[in-house]
Chain A
Amino acid sequence: MADDKDTKPPSASPPPAPPAGGGPPPDRPAAASGATPGAPAAPAAPAAPAAPKPDPLKDPVPSRAVDLLKDHFADQILEVSYHAGMPIVVLRKERVAEIAAFLRDQADLRMDYLSNLTAVHWPKREKPFEVVYHPFSTSLRHRLTLKVPLAEGEETPSLCGVWPTANWHEREVFDLFGIRFAGHPDLTRILMTDEWVGHPLRKDYPLEGNPGDHLQYREVTTAEHVYKYEKATIRGFGWKKEIEKTGVGRG
Chain B
Amino acid sequence: MFRTEEMEINMGPQHPSTHGVLRLKLQLDGEQIKEMRPVIGYLHRGVEKLSEHRTYAMIEPLTDRLDYVAAISENLGYCGAVEKLMGLQIPPRAQSIRVVLAELQRIASHLLWLGTHALDLGAMTVFFYTFREREIILDLFEAFCGARLTYNSMRIGGLLEDVPRGWFERVRHFLKIFPGRMKEYEDLLTVNRIFLGRTKGVGVLSAADAIAYGVSGPPLRASGVNYDVRKALPYSSYDQFEFDVPLGSHGDTYDRYLVRMEELRQSCRIIRQALDRMPDGEVRAKVPKYIKPPAGEVYHVVESPRGEQGFYIVSTGGEMPYRVRFRAPSFVNLQALPLMCRAGLVADVVAVIGSIDIVLGDCDR
Contacts and interface: CB of A to CB of B under 8 A. Distances in A.
A66 interface: no
A40 B335 contact: no
A120 B322 contact: yes
Interface stretch (B10-18, B42-50, B106-114, B340-348): B42-50
B279 interface: no
Contact of A134 (B232, B286, B299): B299
Interface centre among B58, B325, B335 (most CB of A within 10 A): B325
A190 B292 contact: no
Nearest to B50: A207
A233 B54 CA distance: 15
Interface string A1-33: 101100000110101100100011011001100
A78 interface: no
A26 B285 CA distance: 19
A13 B290 CA distance: 23
B316 A191 contact: no
B86 interface: yes
Nearest to B232: A141
Interface string B299-332: 1010000001010101011111011010100011
Given A84-B85, A191-B41, A23 B290 contact: yes
A23 B320 CA distance: 12
B289 A30 contact: yes
B364 A191 contact: yes
A57 interface: yes
Interface string A160-176: 00011101110000001
Interface stretch (B63-71, B206-214, B268-276): B206-214
Given A1-B318, A24-B290, A115-B214, A191 B88 contact: no
Interface string A136-155: 00100101010000000000
Interface centre among B40, B299, B323 (most CB of A within 10 A): B299
Contacts, number: 175
Contacts of A13: 295
A36 B286 CA distance: 9
Contacts of B335: 165, 167-168
A31 B287 CA distance: 8
Given A31-B288, A35-B286, A84 B58 contact: no
Interface residues of A, number: 67
Interface in A166-225: 167-169, 176, 189-193, 200-201, 205, 207, 220-223
The B interface is mostly helix, strand or loop, or mixed, namely loop
B89 A223 contact: no
A169 B327 CA distance: 9
A4 B322 CA distance: 9
B112 to A, nearest CB: 25
Nearest to B209: A164
B55 interface: yes
Contact of B299 (A37, A145, A200): A145
A40 B295 CA distance: 9
B296 interface: yes
A16 B38 CA distance: 44
A10 B312 contact: no
A116 B310 contact: yes
A36 B86 contact: yes
A116 B88 CA distance: 24
B75 to A, nearest CB: 18
B70 to A, nearest CB: 19
3 closest A-B pairs by CB: A165-B214, A3-B316, A223-B319
Interface of A: 1, 3-4, 10-11, 13, 15-16, 19, 23-24, 26-27, 30-31, 34-40, 55-58, 83-84, 86, 88, 112-116, 118, 120-121, 132, 134, 138, 141, 143, 145, 163-165, 167-169, 176, 189-193, 200-201, 205, 207, 220-223, 226, 230, 251
